[in-house]
Every structure is written in structure tokens, then in C-alpha cells.
């Protein structure tokens, strides 16, 4: 474990979350095409920051910073990390950030084609999850924490893997709802229900098993986020698809849709971490017996 790489991964995760929020604001304020050229903005590095340009250009600036920071992370991993697969994840993050920049440019040049916008939204959150997973892989817990024996370990792992699969599907469905004006809304609602039920099962299973104490805070965080997400989703639905549209997006609409999208990104990362931790930490009870 390298403390510098670990701390740096945390820092990059935080900046990436800021970038996701900034990207959400671009979509919610419908500012995506306020700057019609790319990679420059009105042929400049710094156009006048008025109207929608404030959101779009800020998003581009933060994206540029995240791009640079990601390559620094890759450099740190190449220099300090001994595990080849972790270095590969760093390289994947660098590749993702380049691809994401290209997708961002394509959304501008081709005037927000839905498949490209959806791919841009999904890759952004996938990149965030990748960086967050590097925080875990470079942590002390990952390197040294002892295995926890639990009779629920295998069923919990299966439950977490299924939940993570649903959350991944939800990422795509949610992006389509957002970028295709409500299309796949029914699937989005169904997946929300399935995820909520699964998280509830995970919560009960972990709380009931004293051996799983190290995962309690994590699952409580996930439950809190999912609860928040259900309410923000309901609010987003009412404000964007039920109430009559105003001449331009209302502040309440902008805030709730951006929050819904950003909480979604955090849920994806939190579910992934919980799944990875369970696979790393948990082992079946019989193994404990054989060792003892």
C-alpha cells in the first residue's frame, strides 16, 4: 500500500464527483450547446462567462483538470504500485478520460445525438467508479484486513453482485431517460424498485449478522443514498415530466435533476465498493472451522 497513491486517488475521486455535478448542471440547464465549437470555446480558451456558457465552459475546465490529474495518477501508479492489475486499472482510467473527452466533443459537434450523450453520461460515472475502486485497492484494508467468516458470506456476495448489476442497468436507463426526454421511464422505475428491495435485503442481512459488523456503516450509507434517490427521483419526475415546462429550466428543476444524477453516481460507486469489500473480506464459515 502506498499512502500517497491512496490519498491522491481520494482527491481525484472528489474532483471527479465535482465534475459529474458540473456535467449534470450542463444537462439540467440545457446549456450543452451554448458553446458551439470544441475543443475551443468561441475560438478562445476563456469566452465571456455569461448565461449557459458559465455551465458548459466550467464543465470543460474541470474536465481538463480531471484529465491532467488522471494522467498524474497513472504516473504515480506506474512508479509506486507493484501490482500489475492495479497499474492496468490506472491505464484504463487514463484511456477512459481521453475517450470521455472525445465523446464530450462529439456531443457538441453532432448537436447532442442521444446515443453519444448517453455514452458520455455512462462513461463519466464508470470513470468515477473506477477511480473510487482505486481508493479501495490502494487502501490499508485491502492490503491487510483479516478475512471475516460468516455463514451469510456467499449469499451476500451473490446479492451484492446482483444489486450492482441492476445499478449498472439503472445507470444506462437513467441516462436514456435524461437524454431522450423520458424514454425508458418505466424500466427506470422498475429498476429503482428492484434496487431498493435488494438494498433492503442487504441491509437486513448485514445488520442481523454480528460477524458483518465492519460492513454496517457502508450499508447504512448505501441505504441512506437509495432512500434519498427515491425521493429525488420522484421530485425530478414531477418537475420535468408532469408540471408544465417554463420558458427555461426552473432552479428547482435544475437542482433536483442534478442531485438525482449525482446521487446515482455515488450509489454506483458505493455499491461497487461494498461488493468489492465483501468479495475481499468475507469467507464462508466452514473455512473458519477448518483453520481453527
Partner 1 sequence: MKNRQKLGVFFTAFTAFQVNVYAATVTGKIAFEGRAPAAETIKMDADASCKLAHPDGAKSEEAVVNSNGTLKNVFVYVKEGVSGKFDAPKESVKFDQHGCQYTPRVLGIQVGQPLEILNSDPTLHNVHSLATKTQQFNLGMPIQGMKLKKTFTAPEIMVKVKCEVHPWMAGYIGVLDHPFFSATGGDGSFSINNLPPGEYVVEAWHEKYGTQTQKVSVAADGDVKELSFQYKAA
Q: Which of 31, 232 has the CB closer to partner 1?
A: 31
- Applying CB under 8 A, among 51, 75, 182, 224 the residue interacting with partner 1 is 51
Q: Is the peptide bond preceding residue 39 cis, with omega within 30 degrees of 0?
A: yes
Q: Cα separation of 15 and 206, whole Å?
A: 31
> What is the Cα–Cα distance from 59 to 20, expressed in whole angstroms?
9
Residue range at the interface with partner 1 (CB under 8 A); choices 9-17, 47-55, 157-165, 255-263 = 47-55
Q: How far is the CB of 247 from partner 1 (least distance, A)?
A: 4
CB of 237 to partner 1, least distance (A): 21
- From 28-36, 121-129, 144-152, 179-187, give the range in contact with partner 1 by CB under 8 A: 28-36
Residue 90 touches partner 1, criterion: CB under 8 A: no
Q: Quick one: 43 or 84, whose CB is closer to partner 1?
A: 43
Q: Which of 36, 75, 115, 182 binds partner 1 (CB under 8 A)?
A: 36
Dig out the grid coordinates for 207 from the structure: 445488520
Check binding of 35 to partner 1 (CB under 8 A).
yes
**Per-residue binder mask for partner 1 (CB under 8 A), 141-180, x = binder:** ----------------------------------------
Q: Does 53 bind partner 1 (CB under 8 A)?
A: yes
Instruction: Tell me, by CB under 8 A, how many residues bind partner 1.
Output: 24
Residue 33 interacts with partner 1 (CB under 8 A)? yes
Other Cβ atoms less than 10 A from the Cβ of 16: the count is 28
- Residue 31 found at the interface with partner 1 (CB under 8 A): yes
In the list 46, 82, 247, 289, the residue contacting partner 1 (rule: CB under 8 A) is: 247
Query: Which is closer to partner 1, CB of 46 or CB of 85?
Result: 46
Q: Which residue has the cell 485491502?
A: 142
**Cα–Cα dist 199/76, whole Å:** 35
- Choose the binding region for partner 1 from 52-60, 203-211, 223-231, 262-270 (rule: CB under 8 A): 52-60
Q: Return residues touching partner 1 (CB under 8 A).
A: 29-37, 42-43, 47-48, 50-54, 56, 111, 246-249
Amino acid at each position: 500500500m502506498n499512502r500517497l497513491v491512496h490519498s491522491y486517488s481520494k482527491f481525484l475521486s472528489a474532483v471527479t464527483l465535482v465534475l459529474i455535478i458540473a456535467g449534470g448542471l450542463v444537462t439540467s440547464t440545457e446549456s450543452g450547446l451554448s458553446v458551439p465549437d470544441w475543443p475551443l470555446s468561441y475560438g478562445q480558451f476563456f469566452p465571456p462567462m455569461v448565461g449557459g456558457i458559465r455551465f458548459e465552459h466550467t464543465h470543460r475546465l474541470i474536465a481538463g483538470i480531471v484529465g491532467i490529474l488522471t494522467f498524474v495518477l497513472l504516473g504515480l501508479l506506474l512508479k509506486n504500485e507493484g501490482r500489475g492489475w492495479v497499474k492496468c486499472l490506472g491505464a484504463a482510467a487514463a484511456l477512459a478520460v481521453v475517450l470521455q473527452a472525445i465523446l464530450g466533443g462529439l456531443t457538441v459537434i453532432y448537436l447532442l445525438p442521444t446515443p453519444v450523450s448517453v455514452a458520455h453520461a455512462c462513461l463519466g460515472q464508470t470513470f468515477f467508479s473506477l477511480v473510487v475502486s482505486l481508493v479501495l485497492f490502494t487502501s490499508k484494508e485491502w492490503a491487510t484486513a483479516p478475512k471475516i467468516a460468516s455463514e451469510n458470506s456467499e449469499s451476500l456476495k451473490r446479492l451484492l453482485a446482483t444489486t450492482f448489476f441492476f445499478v449498472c442497468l439503472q445507470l444506462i436507463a437513467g441516462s436514456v431517460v435524461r437524454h431522450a426526454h423520458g424514454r425508458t421511464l418505466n424500466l427506470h422505475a422498475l429498476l429503482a424498485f428492484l434496487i431498493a428491495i435488494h438494498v433492503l435485503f442487504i441491509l437486513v442481512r448485514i445488520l442481523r449478522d454480528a460477524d458483518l459488523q465492519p460492513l454496517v456503516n457502508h450499508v447504512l450509507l448505501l441505504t441512506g443514498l437509495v432512500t434519498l434517490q427515491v425521493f429525488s427521483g420522484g421530485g425530478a419526475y414531477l418537475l420535468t415530466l408532469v408540471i408544465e415546462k417554463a420558458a427555461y429550466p426552473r432552479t428547482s428543476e435544475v437542482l433536483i435533476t442534478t442531485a438525482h444524477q449525482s446521487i446515482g453516481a455515488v450509489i454506483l460507486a458505493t455499491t461497487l465498493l461494498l461488493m468489492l469489500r465483501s468479495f475481499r473480506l468475507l469467507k464462508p464459515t466452514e473455512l473458519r472451522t477448518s483453520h481453527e
